[in-house]
């Protein structure tokens, strides 16, 4: 802390002041919180520092290295003004690199207010400068031409600060501001089109990304949050678990470094927004009959391999082993996450509110593709769940994408 | 060339039950804490995967998680006139190794000692007269009463979520509990485990005999539980892989399931694993510890300076570290002077196995380390010892800790040890055999002690510790008495054939008996008979505290962990509320 204070003091003489007072303690602390809410560290953290950049971000078009956000003059944002930062956030244009790629989700960040942008910048000015040169041009041609983003922007990007809906509550609007803006939830949870833009008509209706399914976040009762209360969502975001689910994988990381550190009023606002904005999801199929041969085999596999933790009735152990009965992650149309977790295992986020970080072990080494298909089919079609049956070939393709060689 | 690390507020030797609780509480108090652990890091998610954890060959037979004699062993002899020889394969007891210590691979039987156990010498002398005590005994009162320790038992039970039935709640005897237990301020945190068919027979038989059976208090939890540190546990599945295993289901209380998830969130705590503390360093006048020296896995030697040194390793190694560091005067059995190594004690095991024949399905595979029904009618001084000529007692238990395939195949007496007949007998009796076992106290004696071996050395060239121990006539009489009582109960349960397990005399380091090794650095009110004062603080070096069963003045007829945990919280309170303010001896003579 002492070091940070010193860094801030040194900046006094050199900082180019724009709108916000960069040395205001209030602005810095506000910015610190906004950096958490925006989950900036998820991409920009590296072994050299929480904002030192350099981490390769996978995109369908190639890897992009996250920028160094520390105030280092040569390799970071040291020469940037608050205005420059605003342009990056609001317009997707960097004074250093030119047009940014939407791996930096400026199509969401454009909703952020200028005040919050300035506060974020004030905070980033206060962290210790880290010299960490980052190669910012790693995409292959034609994406290597940053000017090509002009075309993308024309098709996919409408700059504009969030406008509250006067018909809605303050809480709803706060939630909308966070989800649609800094939280950039749609970057994972909204399906993408061929050029990596969000399919706006299916906003937050779930998406397949890096062999995970980012589930439907609408109020849909089958695949979405329809069976969750506002409190359930708050508990999930705050602790990483609730009666219905446990956060692991990429969402576990989001919970650990972002949502578990947000205020409860903000989490309630997010939950209110998600619950109140409506429901959309696939039609619910009729569940497979228990007499189906695959269901029968799946039931036996479930009893032997799964029931010790998830319980015979599929209800799990509250706040420790997630329920599978009624679990949206199990009922997604696309079974990739369920298959993947069985093959590789997964570990639940550890948070201050729930420090135990229980792990689902890997079963990939001792269950065959056909067995995994049967058990997934079973748990998607029992205890009131209903979702399409899974074939061994689906398991096989997930396995080839996620399995660690030798395991 | 020893490298010197930056100074810490607290250095903890060993990251088991007491080390992890001390670390968490002192880190919460804002101190910079480092724990140095000889063995590897282990956590449930990585090391006790449900698909690999129940591996009897790997963990129970090959003993993967225990200390290797190559790392450190002891020499053993029964009598002073013998030459001790090194234990080359641990057998009678299995010292732990690694984060979690014995608290990771234990069964989970979590008892409170009885009020009489704490004032044992005074009590026995009052009731039977001094002459009734065994020859050459070093039986001594504990430096605190049960009532003083009760709040700390309660805290430890709540950290672990212990499942049990209270027997004496605030002075009110509770039906179904242990009527002999000391007054409890609260219920157990979770209800008792579901008992099996065998326990129902035991409970009925014992009740019919006028005895007082109750479900054994268990760290295999009967239901999900969140402890005061916010750490969550799951209900036990009765899989029967507790003792010698890590629990894959987050159901057995251990540092991993109860403490470490909260501890590891503290940035002012650091664990150094695969690093063995070789010495507590003292100031030139020997009156103050300046830190510890340790050797890492690359054999590099480091010095870790600290203001406070907490010795929290397994009982033997606490004593050895004190002897090698020159903390306290080593005990000499010839003069009966000195305190470090004094009052080493162990436990006696005896019992009866009942073969019930066709029609009985006890399902021993549905077990848990602490599943079982017990009775205390013959424990401590709950019965008149006058006619029997011994002191001490045992808890009697009917239990299945497991029915695992490699080790558990009871056969009736007279069955050959191998071949077709043996196989047939195993097939016929696996499900219809049960037992009543006694776990009994061992008193302290002038000739039962620990010291440094004059001959054998460890890989670092330091003397091994030497154990001098045998069962005395008092314990032999007691074991025989308990074996007879066990046989009576199991016959009453309906056993058609009974075989007995007698105490093996002389004591030998094979086969496995129990890892309830106690004493050697005991607590007391008299510095000529104790190494530590009543708070677990060294009489000689006041910024050294020692936890663990090494501080028991003698051993009781129970598993030690409940009392080890209570003493840990008791010492912790003394450190937090007194020592951190005064930095001085907490008992002035």
ipTM: 0.88
| CB-CB neighbors (< 8 A) of A315 in chain B | none
- For B351-375, the pLDDT digits (tens) are 999 999 999 999 999 999 999 999 9
Mean pLDDT of A104-126: 96
CATH number of the domain bearing residue A359: 1.10.760.10
CATH number of the domain bearing residue B318: 3.50.50.60
As for how many domains chain A has, the answer is: 2
Residue B477 lies in a domain: no
Distance from CA of A241 to the nearest CA of B (A): 12
Per-residue confidence band for A8, with pLDDT thresholds at 50, 70 and 90: very low
Regarding whether A237 and A137 lie in a shared domain, the answer is no
Task: Answer yes or no: are the C-beta atoms of A133 and A64 closer than 8 Å.
Answer: no
Per-residue confidence band for A20, with pLDDT thresholds at 50, 70 and 90: low
Residue A384 has pLDDT above 60, yes or no: yes
Q: How far apart are CA B121 and CA B142, in angstroms?
A: 9
CA–chain centroid gap for B186, Å, is: 23
- For A214-227, the pLDDT digits (tens) are 999 999 999 999 99
Active site residue B516: yes
Per-residue confidence band for A144, with pLDDT thresholds at 50, 70 and 90: confident
Of A130, A156, A182, the one marking the end of a domain is A156
Residue B132 lies in a domain: yes
Of the candidates B439, B393, B449, which has an alpha carbon nearest to the alpha carbon of residue B138? Answer: B449
Query: What is the pLDDT, as a whole number, of residue A14?
Result: 39
Per-residue confidence band for A403, with pLDDT thresholds at 50, 70 and 90: confident
Q: Which of A240, A341, A355 to mutate to test the interface with B (most CBs of B within 10 A)?
A: A355
Residue A245 lies in a domain: yes
| Six-digit token string for B206 | 């014992």
A265, A270, A271, A273: CA torsion to nearest 10:
120
Residue B307 lies in a domain: yes
Q: How far apart are CA A87 and CA A96, in angstroms?
A: 11
Of the candidates A22, A170, A193, A20, which has an alpha carbon nearest to the alpha carbon of residue A107? Answer: A193
Q: Are B250 and A363 an interchain contact pair (Cβ–Cβ within 8 Å)?
A: no
Residue B464 lies in a domain: yes
Task: Answer yes or no: are the C-beta atoms of B370 and B220 closer than 8 Å.
Answer: yes
Task: Answer yes or no: are the C-beta atoms of B529 and B138 closer than 8 Å.
Answer: yes
Of A156, A175, A204, the one marking the end of a domain is A156
Q: H helices of B377-506, where?
A: 419-429, 473-493
Task: Please enumerate in sequence order all residues whose Cβ is within 8 A of that of B330, keeping only pairs 6 or more positions apart, or say none.
Answer: B323, B338, B340, B341, B451, B452
Of A146 and A22, more confident: A146
Residue B70 has pLDDT above 50, yes or no: yes
Regarding whether A277 and A152 lie in a shared domain, the answer is no
Per-residue confidence band for B1, with pLDDT thresholds at 50, 70 and 90: confident
Q: How far apart are CA B261 and CA B231, in angstroms?
A: 7
CA–chain centroid gap for A117, Å, is: 21
Residue A151 structural domain: 2-156
Residue A167 lies in a domain: no
Query: Residues of chain A with pLDDT > 90: what percent?
Result: 81
Task: Say how many C-beta atoms besides its own lie within 10 A of residue A213's C-beta.
Answer: 24
- Give the DSSP H/E element, type plus range, for residue B176: none
Query: What is the pLDDT, as a whole number, of residue A2?
Result: 39
Query: What is the pLDDT, as a whole number, of residue B461?
Result: 92
| Six-digit token string for B298 | 């690359």
Of the candidates B21, B97, B44, B25, which has an alpha carbon nearest to the alpha carbon of residue B259? Answer: B21
Residue B421 lies in a domain: no
Query: What is the pLDDT, as a whole number, of residue A405?
Result: 55
Mean pLDDT of A333-351: 95
Query: What is the pLDDT, as a whole number, of residue B450?
Result: 98
Query: What is the pLDDT, as a whole number, of residue B425?
Result: 95
Mean pLDDT of B202-224: 98
Task: Please enumerate in sequence order all residues whose Cβ is within 8 A of that of B408, keeping only pairs 6 or more positions apart, or say none.
Answer: B364, B402, B430
Q: How far apart are CA B60 and CA B588, in angstroms?
A: 47
Task: Answer yes or no: are the C-beta atoms of A151 and A251 closer than 8 Å.
Answer: no
Mean pLDDT of B8-29: 98
Regarding whether A144 and A7 lie in a shared domain, the answer is yes
Residue ranges of chain B whose CB lies within 8 Å of a chain A CB: 44-46, 49-52, 224, 226, 229-235, 237, 239, 248-250, 257, 261-262, 264-265
User: DSSP per residue over B34-78, as a string?
Assistant: EEE-SS----HHHH--TTTS--IIIIIIS-TTBPPTTT--EEEES
Query: What is the pLDDT, as a whole number, of residue A404?
Result: 66
Task: Answer yes or no: are the C-beta atoms of A78 and A10 closer than 8 Å.
Answer: no
Q: Are A320 and B250 an interchain contact pair (Cβ–Cβ within 8 Å)?
A: yes
Per-residue confidence band for A15, with pLDDT thresholds at 50, 70 and 90: very low
Regarding whether A258 and A134 lie in a shared domain, the answer is no
Regarding whether A109 and A223 lie in a shared domain, the answer is no
B349, β-bridge pairs: B439
Task: Please enumerate in sequence order all residues whose Cβ is within 8 A of that of B267, keeping only pairs 6 or more positions apart, or say none.
Answer: none
Residue B78 has pLDDT above 70, yes or no: yes
As for how many domains chain B has, the answer is: 1
Query: Residues of chain B with pLDDT > 70: what percent?
Result: 100
Mean pLDDT of B288-296: 98
User: DSSP per residue over B485-536, as a string?
Assistant: HHHHHHHHHT-SEEEEEPPPSS--S-S------B-SS-B-S-TTT-SB-TTS
Task: Say how many C-beta atoms besides its own lie within 10 A of residue B502's C-beta.
Answer: 12
| CB-CB neighbors (< 8 A) of A355 in chain B | 229-231, 261-262, 264-265
Q: What are the angstrom distances between the C-alpha of A392 and each of A87, A305, A369?
A: 49, 18, 5
| Six-digit token string for A264 | 């409860």
Task: Say how many C-beta atoms besides its own lie within 10 A of residue A78's C-beta.
Answer: 16
Chain A, chain B: beta-carbon pairs less than 8 Å apart: 64
Query: What is the pLDDT, as a whole number, of residue A138?
Result: 85
- For A213-262, the pLDDT digits (tens) are 999 999 999 999 999 999 999 999 999 999 889 999 999 999 999 999 99
Residue B294 lies in a domain: yes
User: Which of B232, B249, B264 minimises the CB distance to A309?
Assistant: B249
B87, β-bridge pairs: none
Q: What is the DSSP letter of B218?
A: B
Q: How far apart are CA A1 and CA A359, in angstroms?
A: 34
| CB-CB neighbors (< 8 A) of A305 in chain B | 51
A347 and chain B in contact, CB less than 8 A: yes
Residue B518 lies in a domain: yes
- The chain-wide mean pLDDT, for chain A, equals 91
Q: What are the angstrom distances between the C-alpha of A146 and each of A93, A100, A136, A138?
A: 10, 7, 11, 11
Q: What is the DSSP letter of B469?
A: -
Residue A206 lies in a domain: no
Classify strands B497-501 and B348-355 as parallel, antiparallel or unpaired: antiparallel
Q: HSE-up of A30 (CA within 13 Å, CB side)?
A: 18
- The chain-wide mean pLDDT, for chain B, equals 97
Q: How far apart are CA B388 and CA B473, in angstroms?
A: 12
- For B92-115, the pLDDT digits (tens) are 999 999 999 999 999 999 999 999
User: DSSP per residue over A53-118, as a string?
Assistant: --PEEEETTEEEEPP--S--TTTSSTT--HHHHHHHHHHSEETTTEEPPTTS-HHHHTTS-HHHHH
Residue B175 structural domain: 3-194+216-347+442-470+514-582
Per-residue confidence band for A9, with pLDDT thresholds at 50, 70 and 90: very low
Q: What is the DSSP letter of A4?
A: H
Q: How far apart are CA A373 and CA A379, in angstroms?
A: 10
Regarding whether A148 and A243 lie in a shared domain, the answer is no
Of A135, A156, A177, the one marking the end of a domain is A156
- For B214-241, the pLDDT digits (tens) are 999 999 999 999 999 999 999 999 999 9
Mean pLDDT of B52-66: 94
Regarding whether A7 and A80 lie in a shared domain, the answer is yes
Residue A173 lies in a domain: no
Residue B410 lies in a domain: no
Residue A203 lies in a domain: no
Query: What is the pLDDT, as a whole number, of residue A19?
Result: 56
Regarding whether A151 and A275 lie in a shared domain, the answer is no
């Amino acid at each position: 802390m002492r070091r940070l204070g010193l860094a801030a003091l040194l900046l006094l003489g050199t900082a180019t002041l724009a709108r916000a007072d960069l040395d205001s303690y209030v602005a810095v602390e506000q910015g610190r919180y906004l950096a958490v809410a925006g989950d900036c560290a998820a991409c920009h953290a590296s072994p050299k520092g929480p904002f030192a950049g350099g981490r390769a971000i996978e995109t369908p078009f190639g890897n992009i290295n996250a920028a160094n956000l520390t105030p280092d003059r040569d390799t970071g944002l040291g020469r940037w003004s608050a205005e420059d930062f605003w342009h990056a956030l609001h317009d997707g244009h960097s004074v250093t690199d030119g047009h940014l790629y939407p791996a930096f989700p400026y199509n969401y960040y454009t909703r952020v207010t200028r005040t919050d942008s300035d506060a974020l910048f004030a905070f980033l000015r206060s962290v210790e400068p880290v010299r960490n040169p980052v190669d910012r041009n790693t995409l292959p041609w034609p994406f290597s031409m940053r000017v090509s983003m002009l075309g993308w922007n024309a098709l996919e990007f409408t700059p504009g600060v969030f406008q509250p809906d006067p018909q809605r509550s303050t809480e709803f609007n706060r939630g909308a501001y966070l989800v649609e803006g800094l939280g950039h939830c749609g970057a994972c949870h909204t399906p993408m089109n061929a050029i990596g833009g969000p399919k706006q008509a299916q906003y937050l209706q779930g998406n397949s990304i890096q062999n995970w399914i980012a589930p439907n976040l609408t109020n849909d009762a089958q695949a979405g949050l329809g069976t969750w209360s506002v409190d359930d969502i708050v508990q999930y975001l705050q602790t990483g678990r609730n009666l219905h689910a446990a956060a692991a994988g990429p969402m576990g990381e989001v919970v650990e470094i972002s949502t578990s550190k947000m205020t409860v009023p903000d989490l309630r606002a997010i939950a209110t927004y998600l619950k109140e904005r409506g429901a959309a999801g696939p039609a619910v199929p009729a569940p497979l009959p228990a007499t189906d041969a695959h269901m029968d085999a799946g039931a036996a596999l479930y009893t032997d391999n799964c029931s010790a933790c998830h319980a015979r009735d599929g209800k799990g152990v509250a706040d420790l082993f997630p329920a599978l009965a009624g679990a949206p992650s199990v009922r997604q149309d696309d079974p990739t996450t369920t298959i993947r977790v069985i093959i590789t295992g997964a570990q639940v986020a550890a948070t201050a509110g729930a420090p135990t970080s229980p792990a689902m072990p890997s079963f990939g080494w001792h269950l065959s593709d056909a067995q995994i298909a049967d058990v997934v089919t079973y748990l998607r079609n029992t205890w009131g769940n209903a979702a399409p049956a899974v074939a061994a070939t689906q398991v096989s393709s997930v396995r080839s994408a996620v399995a660690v060689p030798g395991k | 060339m020893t490298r010197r690390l930056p100074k810490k507020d607290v250095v903890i030797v060993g990251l088991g039950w007491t080390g992890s609780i001390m670390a968490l509480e002192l880190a919460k108090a804002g101190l910079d804490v480092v724990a140095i652990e000889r063995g590897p890091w282990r956590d449930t998610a990585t090391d006790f995967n449900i698909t690999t954890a129940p591996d009897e060959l790997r963990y129970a037979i090959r003993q993967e998680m225990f200390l290797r004699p190559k790392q450190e062993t002891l020499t053993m002899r029964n009598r002073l006139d013998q030459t001790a020889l090194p234990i080359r394969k641990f057998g009678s007891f299995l010292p732990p190794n690694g984060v979690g210590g014995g608290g990771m691979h234990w069964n989970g039987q979590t008892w409170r000692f009885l009020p009489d156990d704490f004032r044992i010498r005074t009590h026995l002398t009052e009731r039977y007269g001094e002459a009734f005590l065994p020859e050459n005994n070093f039986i001594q009162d504990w430096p605190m009463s049960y009532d003083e320790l009760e709040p700390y038992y309660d805290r430890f039970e709540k950290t672990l979520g212990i499942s049990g039935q209270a027997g004496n709640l605030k002075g009110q005897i509770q039906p179904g509990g242990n009527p002999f237990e000391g007054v409890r301020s609260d219920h157990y945190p979770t209800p008792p485990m579901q008992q099996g068919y065998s326990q129902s027979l035991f409970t009925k038989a014992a009740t019919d005999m006028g005895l007082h059976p109750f479900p054994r208090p268990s760290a295999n939890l009967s239901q999900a539980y969140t402890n005061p540190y916010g750490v969550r546990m799951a209900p036990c599945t009765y899989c029967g892989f507790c003792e010698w295993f890590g629990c894959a289901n987050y159901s057995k209380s251990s540092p991993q399931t109860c403490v470490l998830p909260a501890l590891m969130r503290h940035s002012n705590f650091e664990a150094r694993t695969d690093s063995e503390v070789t010495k507590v360093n003292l100031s030139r006048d020997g009156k103050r510890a300046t830190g510890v020296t340790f050797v890492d896995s690359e054999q590099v030697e480091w010095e870790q300076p600290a203001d406070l040194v907490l010795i929290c390793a397994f009982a033997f190694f606490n004593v050895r570290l004190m002897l090698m560091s020159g903390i306290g005067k080593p005990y000499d059995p010839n003069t009966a002077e000195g305190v470090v190594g004094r009052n080493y004690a162990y436990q006696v095991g005896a019992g009866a196995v009942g073969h019930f024949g066709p029609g009985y399905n006890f399902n021993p595979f549905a077990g848990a380390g602490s599943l079982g029904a017990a009775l205390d009618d013959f424990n401590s001084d709950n019965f008149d010892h006058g006619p029997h000529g011994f002191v001490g007692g045992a808890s009697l238990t009917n239990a299945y800790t497991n029915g695992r395939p490699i080790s558990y195949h009871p056969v009736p007496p007279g069955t050959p040890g191998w071949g077709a007949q043996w196989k047939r007998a195993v097939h016929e009796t696996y499900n219809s055999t049960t037992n009543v076992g006694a776990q009994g106290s061992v008193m302290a004696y002038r000739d039962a002690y620990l010291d440094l071996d004059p001959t054998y050395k460890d890989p670092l060239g330091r003397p091994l510790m030497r154990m001098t121990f045998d069962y005395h006539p008092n314990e032999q009489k007691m074991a025989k008495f308990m074996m007879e009582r066990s046989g009576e109960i199991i016959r009453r349960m309906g056993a058609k054939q009974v075989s007995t397990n007698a105490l093996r005399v002389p004591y030998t380091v094979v086969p496995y008996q129990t890892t309830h090794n106690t004493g050697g650095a005991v607590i007391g009110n008299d510095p000529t008979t104790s190494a530590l004062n009543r708070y677990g603080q060294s009489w000689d070096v006041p910024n050294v505290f020692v936890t663990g069963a090494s501080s028991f003045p003698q051993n009781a007829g129970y598993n030690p962990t409940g009392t080890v945990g209570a003493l840990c919280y008791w010492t912790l309170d003394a450190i937090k509320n007194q020592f951190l303010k005064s930095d001085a001896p907490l008992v002035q003579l």
